[in-house]
Chain A
Amino acid sequence: MDRVANLILRRLLHGVIVVLGVMTIVFFVTRIIGDPVQVMLPVEATEAERALLRNQLGLDRPILEQFLQFAGNTLTFNFGDSLWQRRPAMDIVLQRLPMTALLTAAGIGAAILLSIPLGIVAALRPDGIVDRTTVVASLAGLSMPQFWLGLLLIILFGVKLGWLPTSGARSPAHIILPAITLALPSLARLAMVVRTAMIDEMNRQYIKVVRAKGLKRARVIGVHALRNASVPILTLSGWEIIGALAGNVVVVESIFAWPGLGLTVMQSIERQDLILLQAVVFTVAVMAVCINILIDIAHRAIDPRVNA
């Protein structure tokens, strides 16, 4: 237990450095790509108005001083008021965060839960019907751009069949289409990895031994082979969650007007709200770090040979 606590502590420290690195990049990139004041004020604004806003935002101070201020703000989770909504950016982020967490949990959770049985069944009969179907469907799923997939689903289930709502988050049914859109590419990747990992494990000598021990097939596959196959599955699952939070939700939430962080990113970019954008990036970076720590802990639980 001490070693786990030690691991978490070291990874958290590591994570703080990662988040600060990300925020440093975000800070300088936003300074390089343009003058926030130029895009925040209307074109006809006077030079005095620009100077005033610049002063309000602290943009007239030396860059190093600005950076130290920004770093201090980051460490206290205080990014200032959103330029668009005129209220603390972090409040907006925290208000939107649960919706993104829900969508990611539903989409990637479903992808993980479905990929495991699918990959196992495919692996048990390589070149069988389930296997071939899974491989072909996975390739199709991987090659399909997410925005296009979302639009196809809207046309089919929203427009043609009229079964499911396609925009917003007013009822539980509203999550179905965005979750499927988020899930399918992840499901395709995960199923391929589960399949490959299970085929590898089922061909190993220790599996022959546990079969010769007369153990039930379910135990041979579900306990021995699956635990050994879990390491790559777990790693990819972590990446899928992070990939969804850090990018795919932007596309999916925009298509389905799902009021989460991804939609917030699009809105803050449209409105040049760099403060809000920084708060979102910060939050996603922190979540990515936390998920990585969880994956590390789970990895150690699965494979006790791994040392801290």
Chain B
Amino acid sequence: MTAPLLELDDLVVTFTTRRGRIEAVRGVSLAVRPGETLGIVGESGSGKSVTMQAVMGVVDSPGAVEHGDISWRGRSLLAREGEAADIRGRDIAMVFQDAMTSLDPLFSIGTQIGEVLARHRGVTGAAARARTIELLELVGIANPGPRLHYLPHQFSGGMRQRIMIAMALAAEPALLIADEPTTALDVTVQAQIVDLLIELRDRLGLAIVLVTHDLGLVAELCDRVAVMYAGRIVETADVWSLFDAPAHPYTAGLLKATPAIDDLPERLETIEGSPPDPSDLPSGCAFRLRCPRADAACASAPPLTHPAAGRDLLCWHPEPLPIAASPEAAHV
């Protein structure tokens, strides 16, 4: 297997406020390999966005990485701030959820893309202009030349998200982090952006981390999925194994709560209860109070297990995995 690009090792991100200390991310470990698309799914507040913001070094104040490490091609980003600043925006780029507010309203889109080129590639002037036009064409902005001088408000939401993607790709990153890139867009525009991401990934060989709560999007785009709950990754697996046979009861609940187009039930199933208060998490497994399979054992922290090839799981009482779904389990 190729060496991972991005590795998170037991990452803990906390927010310390006057009202107390909140652990938003509670020991997340994951790896993203070149060319791979990893989905991170979970409810709002599960820590998926904060995890990726920590990778980019843009966690909202007063949040801070308290423990663990983030490394890029084996080198810690947290240990070397200067080097990390060169890597962020160049090797790892991020597209955010809200395209409408993600661009600086006072600078032309040409300037905003150009400053990435100047910062990370030392490209300025006519060369930067030519490259910016190329990038805008790549993301499907028609007639980009004259539009370099346009301000963000002169574009629609979908166009702005395309511009954000062009800006993220400017320095030719190996990894693109997309944090709910389609949530704020119209349904038709969402589909266009998804198609664009697939096209760019295949054309540029990008690795993508897709943060989303949209399981349909995960099925469409991702190779692997990590399911987050209350600041922890509770299950990781390749996308088809996970959809076919979720092992964690939370994953199973999520999938049951998602309608399939050819099999619409009368009522969608829901997961009982609501996400736990991050400042007052239950001991052991954070899902246990909502979990149909929970028992006394769940009050202590579940161990990390590998019930099948490529699958990581944090659960005392997982759903039984069908043998056919894990033919390589014997080798692990």
Contacts and interface: CB of A to CB of B under 8 A. Distances in A.
B270 interface: no
A227 B115 contact: no
B84 to A, nearest CB: 9
Given A206-B105, A224-B107, A212 B89 contact: yes
Contacts of A97: none
B151 interface: yes
Nearest to A213: B89
A214 B91 CA distance: 10
B89 A227 contact: no
B90 interface: yes
Given A204-B101, A205-B96, A208-B58, A215 B119 contact: yes
Nearest to A304: B151
Interface in B109-134: 112, 115-116, 119-120
B167 A208 contact: no
A210 B116 CA distance: 9
A180 to B, nearest CB: 34
B269 interface: no
Main SS of the interface on chain A? Answer: helix
A208 B63 CA distance: 14
A216 interface: yes
A216 B103 CA distance: 17
B275 to A, nearest CB: 24
Contact of A305 (B112, B120, B153): B153
Contacts of A214: 85-90, 116, 119-120
Q: Interface size class for chain A? A: 20 to 34
B101 A213 contact: no
A210 B103 CA distance: 8
A212 B56 contact: yes
Contacts of B153: 305
Contact of A206 (B86, B103, B116, B120): B103
Interface string B148-186: 000101000000000010010000000000000000000
A212 B94 contact: yes
A213 B114 CA distance: 11
Contacts of A205: 96, 98, 101-102
Contacts of B314: none
A294 interface: no
Interface string A263-307: 000000000000000000000000000000000000000111100
B101 to A, nearest CB: 4
Given A215-B119, A216-B119, A224-B107, A209 B102 contact: yes
Contact of B104 (A212, A216, A224): A224
B57 interface: yes
A299 to B, nearest CB: 12
A211 interface: yes
Given A212-B56, A212-B93, A304-B151, A206 B119 contact: no
Interface string A186-218: 000000000000000000111011111111100
B106 interface: yes
Given A224-B107, A305-B151, A305-B153, A213 B167 contact: yes
Interface of A: 204-206, 208-216, 219, 224, 227-228, 302-305
Given A214-B120, A302-B106, A305-B105, 14 more contacts: A205-B102, A208-B96, A211-B57, A212-B58, A212-B93, A212-B94, A213-B93, A213-B167, A214-B88, A214-B89, A214-B90, A215-B115, A227-B106, A305-B106
Interface of B: 53, 56-58, 60, 85-90, 93-94, 96, 98, 101-107, 112, 115-116, 119-120, 151, 153, 164, 167
20 contacts: A205-B96, A206-B102, A206-B104, A208-B53, A209-B102, A209-B103, A209-B104, A210-B104, A211-B58, A212-B89, A212-B94, A213-B93, A213-B115, A213-B119, A214-B87, A214-B120, A302-B106, A303-B106, A304-B106, A305-B106
